[in-house]
Amino acid sequence: MDFQTAVRTCFSKYATFSGRARRAEFWWFTLFNFLANIVLSVVDGILFGFGHGMMDAGPIQPLSSLYGLAVILPSLAVSVRRLHDTGRSGWWLLIWLIPIIGWIILIWWFATQGDEGPNDHGADPLGGGYGPSSMPQVRRQ
């Protein structure tokens, strides 16, 4: 799955919390959100000012804030689908509320290979339907 396909897939499954998402889909969408947030923050800074000092309340960032609100559902949905791919319930996403340890565990789960074959949450996304991947393939053992 390439960058464009991953972003298109996540937006087409805007609030779809069922099913599975492969690693490439999750990480390409995460990169897209990161880059979009940087670009919108720079545009916000140019249009509304970058802030003036340490005691300032901070710059106004309406574009970046609106984008964050617009992608919160697809970001949560792809995260839940990614956890489903590893055989975990989407409720495990709440482990994010535990500082540092919860974040490390979630990042680890997001980076691990999904279950081979179908699991309780659907068919294996690597089993077909997405086409060739731009990610290097590692043979499953």
Look up the domain containing 81 and give its range: 3-125
Which residue bears the tokens 């390439």?
2
Give domain status of residue 88, yes or no.
yes
Give domain status of residue 135, yes or no.
no
HSE-CB of 100 using CA atoms within 13 angstroms: 0
Q: State pLDDT tens for residues 12-56.
A: 999 999 999 999 999 999 999 999 999 999 998 888 877 665 556
> Quick one: what percent of the chain has pLDDT higher than 90?
65
Contacts of 25 (CB under 8 A, 6+ apart): 1, 6, 9, 10, 78, 81, 82, 125, 130
- Structural domain total, the chain: 1
Question: Using an 8 Å Cβ cutoff, are 25 and 134 in contact?
Answer: no
Give domain status of residue 60, yes or no.
yes
pTM for the structure as a whole? 0.82
User: Identity (one letter) of the amino acid at 16?
Assistant: T
Question: Using an 8 Å Cβ cutoff, are 31 and 90 in contact?
Answer: no
Give domain status of residue 141, yes or no.
no
